[in-house]
Amino acid sequence: MLVSAKEMLEKAKAGHYAVGQFNINNLEWTKSILQTAQEMNSPVILGVSEGAGKYMTGFKTVAAMVKAMIEEMNITVPVALHLDHGTYDGCYKCIEAGFSSIMFDGSHYPIDENVAKTKELVEVCREKGISLEAEVGSIGGEEDGVVGMGECADPKECKMIADLGVDMLAAGIGNIHGKYPANWQGLSFETLDAIQQLTGAMPLVLHGGTGIPADMIKKAIDLGVSKINVNTECQLAFAEATRKYIEEGKDQQGKGYDPRKLLAPGAEAIKETVREKIELFGSANKA
């Protein structure tokens, strides 16, 4: 059964650890993440971007697959199925498809429109027991080949959005999506601290978890981050393991071309990445 992310994140915030959101792309991804979370007795959030949803033929397919896998694999740890960076329409599609958590990314709207749409979704989600994440400011990343440095959100705007009744808040603190540039300045703990002071018990979300040094992750958790999104790192681990298998010619030995063999090293690499993150975030044995 899927659960909302609300309770697991409130527990995480109170217990000073973070729950990982690991984005899924297909069956292998989902299976690896669920298996690892279960082995480590950790709550977990499966993230689905709109692009990944489309790739998997639609949000209904995703929800049906995840629910069935939880049952067939006897998964007993709390699992939330979460829309990552949802558009307004995408949010409604996921609510209808049976997701247990959504992120409405209204950061590109003028603040008034972001507030109005977020308010509306707060009502809908509350009625259905779905958790809702909002974003303030924008979390940068590579756009048209240019990697931004990562903006910092305005703490007062964060407080205003938090007060609308969302369950978790993503705010830019110098973090970006994808790989970090060599001259990256690091996270702004000053901004994070100011946001946390104004938003109190609200679980804060750190996007772009790939490549942030472990000590910065730990400090961010100390300052109120209770959900950390990991996406690129699993992709890099999968690609590297798959490339090694093919470069070693293993796909040409025996039945090494069998997709169940060909994709196995990548799936193992995802598990290893998820295991490391669960250790670092401190969510093992918190299910």
Residues that bind Zn ion (CB under 5 A): 207
Return the residue nearest Zn ion (CB atom).
207
The number of helices, as runs of H, and strands, as runs of E, in the chain is: 12, 10
Assess contact for 168 and 205: CB atoms under 8 A: yes
Q: How many CA atoms lie within 13 A of 91 on its CB side?
A: 24
- Does 84 participate in catalysis according to the annotation? yes
Which residue out of 84, 144, 193, 258 is catalytically annotated? 84
CA distance 215 to 202: 22
Count the Cβ atoms, other than its own, within 10 Å of residue 247.
9
The three-point CA angle 77-78-80 to 5° equals 140
Minimum distance, C-beta of residue 83 to Zn ion, in the bound complex (Å): 11
Q: How far is the CB of 144 from Zn ion (least distance, A)?
A: 18
Of the candidates 168, 128, 130, 149, which has an alpha carbon nearest to the alpha carbon of residue 9?
A: 168
Residue 163 phi/psi, 5-degree rounding, is -70, -10
- Smallest gap from Cβ 168 to Zn ion, in A, equals 12
Among left, alpha and beta (phi > 0; psi -120 to 50; other), residue 240 is alpha
At residue 246, φ and ψ (nearest 5 deg) are -75, -40
Cα gap 2→15, rounded to integer Å? 22
Burial of 251 (0-12, 13-18, 19+ CB in 10 A): middle
Single out the residue of 166, 189, 203, 181 nearest to residue 281, CA to CA.
Answer: 203
Q: Residue 32 or 107: which CB sits closer to Zn ion?
A: 107
State the nearest-atom distance from the C-beta of 103 to Zn ion, in Å: 8
Q: State the minimum distance, in angstroms, from the CB of residue 47 to Zn ion.
A: 8
Cα atoms in the 13 Å half-sphere on the side-chain side of 160: 12
CB of 135 or CB of 242, closer to Zn ion: 135
Q: How far is the CB of 49 from Zn ion (least distance, A)?
A: 8
Cα first-last separation, the chain: 14
Q: Which residues are catalytic?
A: 84
